[in-house]
Amino acid sequence: MEELATGAHRGETVYGVTSLPPAQAAPAHLLALIRAHWTIENRLHWVRDVTFDEDRSQIRRGAGPQVMATLRNLAISLLRLAGAPLIAPALRHAGWAGQTLIFRLLGIDLRAAGPGL
């Protein structure tokens, strides 16, 4: 492993517990599984926690938490599909763009719908 700050190389031993049989628990395979997990964590959950401040949400009753998580996931997915590399600036832009941005992200051309929209 290379230290980003100094460029020095060092070794690291990591231990883990898995229910996979030995034939499926090769080090390279386990590394790929762990990296895939952290990719999801970094691309979705971290964005929800930091950008949407989800950990401090006070919505706690009934289906409210699941509904809000689904709406946050939808917003993140739509922004990523629209090509946004960073979610926070894209959300700020969406706030400035007014009500029409959501329709553009969904592929709905309001001009084709006629005047008044």
For 61-92, the pLDDT digits (tens) are: 999 999 988 988 888 888 888 888 888 888 88
Using CA atoms, how far apart are residues 30 and 68, in angstroms rounded to an integer?
A: 33
Least confident among 4-13, 26-35, 73-82, 99-108: 99-108
**Long-range contacts formed by 14-23: CB under 8 A, 24+ apart:** none
Domain borders along the chain are 22-113
Identify which has the larger pLDDT, 69 or 4. Answer: 69
* pTM exceeds 0.85 for this model: no
